Amino acid sequence: MATVRESTTETTANNAVSTEKVQFTLVENETIGIVVLNDPELGNPMSPEMGDQFRATVERTKTLRNLRAVIVRGAGRHFSVGGHREMLTGLAAPSMTETARHDFMLGFYDKWLSLLEIPVPVIAAIEGDCIGVAPIFACACDIGLADETANFQITFAGLGLYPGMGMSYVVPKLVGAQQAALLMVAGAPFSGKQAFEVGLVARSVARGIVHDEALKIARQVAANEPTVVRPLTLALRLKRSELQPVLESDAARQAESYATAEFRKHIEEYLPNWYAK
């Protein structure tokens, strides 16, 4: 079996002292990239700043001629708790106009959906909490893997916030309308095993091995002929052109939701185990 070699020119995925919100490591003779969402103290929330670094990382992947696959994971024991509460609270400010909210959300979507521009197969390795908008990675990556004990929850309806990032389109595309309603309208938590059973991810694996499994699959991808893998990946992948009308609608609906008293009330109480420390 090939040995993992971290590029000496990159920040390592396990460097806990790094202040970068997104870390990028090259392994396996620089054929596999590992993207790490890196704010573990708060559960790797998706902030605009992290989104900027994520987009910059995507741009980096386009310059790497030897790259064959990319893995996306979260630092620490969790994948991501979704949109940063500080960002969501700010969007509820009465001084912010509906147009400003709409435009902000379109920009926010664009940062994270840049993952659709990564030129090689992208594997999501999900464990721990994957909450709010974070399950978009299970939907938009080319291969989603989940620890069977991972905690998924699509929390928008409970917050009084219309779903964003095209989730009302991509979730039913993967799991069907009724399952999408169960996951998004009822909004109850579900496990990584259940995510696999309904088709949200490609595979669930035993507790504690999801990163090893992601690397194993990335190696399999890297061993195949890139002149076939790259165009085939793009042919199978969700198209940004499909999403754009949905994103425009999502941004408008979310702009309306942010202005409501119901949302302001719910966001103050959101994820107390992460934010009320």
Considering the domain boundaries, does residue 161 fall inside one? yes
> Tell me, what CATH number does 208's domain have?
3.90.226.10
pLDDT at 212: 98
Question: How does 40-50 read in b/e, with b if 16+ C-beta sit within 10 Å?
Answer: eebbbbbbeeb
- Total residue length of the chain: 277
Considering the domain boundaries, does residue 15 fall inside one? no
The chain-wide mean pLDDT, for the chain, equals: 93
Q: Which residues pair with 205 in a beta bridge?
A: 147
Contact 151, 194 (CB under 8 A): no
pLDDT digits (tens, 9 = 90+) for 28-80: 999 999 999 999 999 999 999 999 999 999 999 999 999 999 999 999 999 99
Q: How far apart are CA 143 and CA 230, in angstroms?
A: 14
Considering the domain boundaries, does residue 30 fall inside one? yes
Considering the domain boundaries, does residue 105 fall inside one? yes
- pLDDT tier at 277 (50, 70, 90 boundaries)? low
In this structure, how many other beta carbons lie within 10 angstroms of the beta carbon of residue 10? Answer: 17
| Lowest-confidence region among 82-86, 227-231, 237-241, 272-276 | 272-276
Considering the domain boundaries, does residue 209 fall inside one? yes
Q: How far apart are CA 205 and CA 158, in angstroms?
A: 29
Share of the chain above pLDDT 90, in %: 91
- pLDDT tier at 9 (50, 70, 90 boundaries)? very low
In terms of residue numbers, what domain contains 184?
22-275
Considering the domain boundaries, does residue 188 fall inside one? yes
Considering the domain boundaries, does residue 2 fall inside one? no
222's enclosing H/E stretch is helix 210-223
Considering the domain boundaries, does residue 8 fall inside one? no
Contact 254, 246 (CB under 8 A): no
DSSP characters over 41-52: GGT--B-HHHHH
pLDDT digits (tens, 9 = 90+) for 208-257: 999 999 999 999 999 999 999 999 999 999 999 999 999 999 999 999 99
Give the phi and the psi of residue 215 in degrees, each rounded to 5.
Answer: -65, -40
Contact 120, 228 (CB under 8 A): no
Q: Is 80 exceeded by the pLDDT of residue 11?
A: no
The number of domains in the chain is: 1
